[in-house]
Structure 1
Amino acid sequence: MNWADIWDAMFAGLPFYGEILGLVWNAVVAGAVLGLVGGLVGVFVMQRDMAFAVHGIAELSFAGAAAALLIGADVVTGSIVGSLIAAAIIGWLGARARDRNSIIGVLMPFGLGLGILFLSLYDGRSANRFSLLTGQIVSVQSDQLGWLIAISAVALAALLVIWRPLRFDSLDPQSAAARGVPTTAVSLTFMLLLGLIVAVSVHIIGALLVMALLVTPAAAAMRVATGPRSVPLLATAFGFVSAVGGILLAVAGTLPVSPFITTISFLIYVVCRVVGGRRGRVTRTVA
């Protein structure tokens, strides 16, 4: 492949950008909602040291989506079922970090193996298989957009309801338990909410790269902010820019959306890490 082929793959659609954008507007809206909610959820994912759990849930979500594709059912529903099963198992059995990582390590290859089996048995369009792993900007149909927004809205509303006990449990679980916070219920509720968001994310960015929206924006925000309000706000902003920016760039070419989203998310993290590192050196020098 030469540079001309690469240019065509990335920007061949520029002359028809407006028309193509109109065709994938549903994905833009879904990506915007996902970026906002994913950024908020990602803050607690980082505080609870559960980045590995996101990937584990994504593998079971992928298996559920692949099973739905095989039997002709709704892919989003299959993805949600797989995510909720994984989230419930991890949340119920993995109270301690060591137990949780062991459970995730067992679930990940199992889910990936099931997903590959179901896709191998599927004899439909190969693009449908590929989109489950890497995302597809044209995969969000009009009848699915409402469900995606509704799922994100439910997850956001529930997250706001448990915000204070969840934050307390995330930052100091021992003190939270001593103060009477129902830590088990809070943890399980958060895991189920995380499962819902992962299921929606898999539909947009694919199972393999879902952490780019549920981990990286929050990790970047924590590098440059420390306040209880500034971190969630920055994380949602970074998630929104990554999701919407990646989709808008992908529209111009023929490449999948996931490389653009992951690249934007990674660049934001690199910039925040550099800024945070310089700020730390300045603080130590002044002190």
Structure 2
Amino acid sequence: MFLADAGVPTVSWNLLADLQEMWAYPFMVNAFRAGAIVSVVCAVVGWFMVLRRQTFAGHTLSVAAFPGASLAILLGVSTSLGYFGFCVAAALLIAALGRKGRDAGAEESAVTGTVQAFALASGYLFISLYKGLLEGPTALLFGSFLGITTGQVTLLAIVGAVLLAVLALIGRPLLFATVDPEVAAGRGVPVRLLSTVFLVLLGAATAEASQITGTLLVFALMVIPAATAQQLTARPGRSLALAVLIGFASCWLGLIAAYYQPYPLGFFVTTIAFTGYVLAHLGRAVHDALGRSRPRGRTPLSIGGAA
């Protein structure tokens, strides 16, 4: 590891100098650029995923990134190709095999679980076939920011821009189909098509996040910021903006912490995001408790008038 060989840096009182030193390394610049792209895309896509209650599908797509990257290493091709190829293929498979109707939720869960089991088994098969892969599984499962190249950042930026553009086009009907699918279908909204398109977007966003946090900790950027934002406010626009802000802050603060400490990046990103989620729950609990303790039905003005 580069940081281990050079000695773990220490934080000084001059924060500007610390940032300049950190960004003097090209791999850190690439990591911050990739983190910014991935955190924004995952927060937006994850917000819809949490609202649609498809976190299990998102988790399965993150698992599909593991055999994708493993097969890419086995074949000697770009791991990004493996990430995106397997995640999008798994999304299409879930969309094709899932049944719509009254039992759609149960059917999708069964299909999703089946795809997840097969993906895990395939990943470990590819790992075992490649004898030269030493610590590869750890990096694939828990993430690493040392190997992010300028080419990967460019690819993430292009894919992220396409994802956000498509989501901007289908955002309003997708929100309608999410909140009330039966009424949306009755008004001519293509609910089935929107569901398939969203799963593909979810697969691509998961493939992006997996290259930063690893396949097992992708929920740090995909679920936690969105879930935290939806705890804080029920307004869609404000909640979506909060999710982006929380995801961006968690990723960049995690990168800074990982630079100064010899521990996995995924741990810091997840811990920071989870701390925000717990604080949001505590804040909401306090708010609800204060609301219940206030007198109902009589205001200070009415009390004074009665007197």
Q: What range describes the TM-score normalised by the shorter chain of this pair?
A: over 0.9
Label 1:125 to 1:66 Cα distance change in 2 as closer, same or farther (>3 A): closer
In structure 2, C-alpha distance between the alignment counterparts of 1:120 and 1:244, rounded to whole Å? 34
1:159 and 2:155 are equivalent in the alignment: no
CA contact (8 A) 2:127 2:133 kept: no
CA contact (8 A) 1:137 1:256 kept: no
> Is structure 2 residue 141 aligned with structure 1 residue 133?
yes
Q: Does 1:36 align with 2:40?
A: yes
Distance change in 2, residues 1:119/1:155 (3 Å): same
Whether the 8 Å contact between 1:17 and 1:251 is mirrored in structure 2 is no
Deviates more, 1:277-286 or 1:258-267: 277-286
Please tell me whether Structure 1 or Structure 2 has the larger radius of gyration of its CA atoms. Answer: 2
State the structure with bigger RCO (CA 8 A, min sep 6), 1 or 2: 1
- Using the aligned pairs only, state the percent identity: 34
Partners of 1:121 and 1:28 in 2: CA distance: 33
Q: Output the TM-score relative to the length of structure 1.
A: 0.92
**CA separation in 2, counterparts of 1:131 and 1:20?**
22
The aligned amino acid for 1:169 is A
- 1:27-176 alignment runs, 5 A limit: 27-94=31-98, 95=100, 96-176=104-184
Tell me the secondary structure at the aligned position of residue 229 of structure 1.
helix
| One-letter amino acid matched to 2:144 | Q
Aligned: 1:190 with 2:186: no
Counterpart residue number, 2:29: 25
How big is the shift at 1:202?
A: 0.7
> Which runs of 4 or more aligned residues in structure 1 lie more than 6 Å from their structure 2 counterparts after TM superposition?
none
Cα RMSD of the aligned pairs, angstroms, is 1.9
Q: TM-score, normalised by structure 2?
A: 0.86
**Aligned residue in 2 for 1:225:** 233
| Matched AA of 1:206 | G
Contact 1:206–1:258, Cα closer than 8 Å, also in 2: yes
Report the secondary structure of 1:24's partner residue.
Answer: helix
Q: Aligned residues, how many?
A: 279
| Displacement after TM superposition at 1:18 (Å) | 5.0
Question: Unaligned stretches of 5+ in structure 2?
Answer: 12-17, 297-307
Give the superposition deviation at 1:17: 7.3
Mapped to 1, the partners of 2:202 and 2:195 lie a distance apart of: 10
